[in-house]
Amino acid sequence: MQIFRTQTAIKEYLRPLLSTQKIGFVPTMGALHEGHLALVSEAKRHNDLVVASIFVNPTQFNNANDLAKYPRTEDADVAMLESVGCDILFTPYPEDMYPQPVRTALNFGEVETVMEGAFRQGHFNGVGMVVAKLFHIVKPNKAYFGQKDLQQCLVIKQLIQDYSFDIKLVIMPTIREADGLAMSSRNRRLSATQRQTAPKIYAALQQTAQLLQSGASLQTAQDFYTQQILAEPTFRFEYFEIANLDTLATVTDLAQHQQVALCTAVFMDEVRLIDNLIVDLRK
């Protein structure tokens, strides 16, 4: 696997290849797990060259402590990427990506007013900007993102449409641990006892989905989920939304939807965990 640490170096390497090679791109923040590797493997199946990036993007963190504590495991990440045949790793220095502070701002409209947008001020501006920069640097044909970050997928979809990127967005399902916990780089920060409790988030999402499928009202479902989380003293509830799958706006009338997304954020001490589940209401 070729590793590049500057925009100039990777651009020079890729330039002669762009006309003949289909490039699949997997942007990440490292501390890789099977969820990331599933994206790389899918990219490998459908492209000539796979580029992964590892960049803990400072501009998308609204909490300095979260940024400082974000796990960094470069040697293990390189070995994992090589194990699934990743061709190129771009892992730039922050000062190479941001030689000067960014002056331009992106605003994704409605999608920024709910959930991650509402609770992490400026987060999607940072995500949008870094992904746009990475798209310009790598010039992929396809870009792979995980449903684990459902709202981020919508932001990237808008970015691609609004800025006319010639890139196909591929969204891959959430990869989970055997006990249901969504894989996340932040899971490494959980203590052993927190790690045992954490799967209750997904269990509560599943139970809430079943309630909705058996005809429960929005309020009943909302109350049920909230109670499940509040019943566990080591959880600190942040949000739970029953959201329109296309816009992620809060659903106000279930009868108008065939599918909804259940989206949540829960803290365990200072570790913030997010998860979501798409519910088919026709079943």
Most distant CA pair in the chain, distance: 58
Between residues 176 and 236, which has the closer beta carbon with respect to ligand AMP?
Answer: 176
Between residues 115 and 221, which has the closer beta carbon with respect to ligand AMP?
Answer: 115
Between residues 154 and 221, which has the closer beta carbon with respect to ligand AMP?
Answer: 154
Site residues (CB under 6 A) for ligand AMP?
Answer: 28-29, 35-36, 38-39, 145-146, 148-149, 172, 174-175, 182-185
Minimum CB–partner distance for residue 12 and ligand AMP (Å): 26
Minimum CB–partner distance for residue 1 and ligand AMP (Å): 18
Minimum CB–partner distance for residue 29 and ligand AMP (Å): 4
CA distance 92 to 146: 22
Answer yes or no: are the C-beta atoms of 83 and 52 closer than 8 Å.
no
Between residues 172 and 242, which has the closer beta carbon with respect to ligand AMP?
Answer: 172
Minimum CB–partner distance for residue 177 and ligand AMP (Å): 9
Q: Which residues contact 147 (CB under 8 A, 6 or more apart)?
A: 153, 171, 172, 173, 174, 276, 278
- C-alpha pair distances (Å), 53 with each of 72, 84, 132, 156, 255: 13, 14, 13, 16, 42
- Angle among Cα 69, 75, 79 to the nearest 5 degrees reads 125
Which residues are part of the catalytic machinery? 36
* SS3 (DSSP) at 214: coil
Answer yes or no: are the C-beta atoms of 80 and 124 closer than 8 Å.
no
Cβ-proximal residue to ligand AMP, closest one = 146
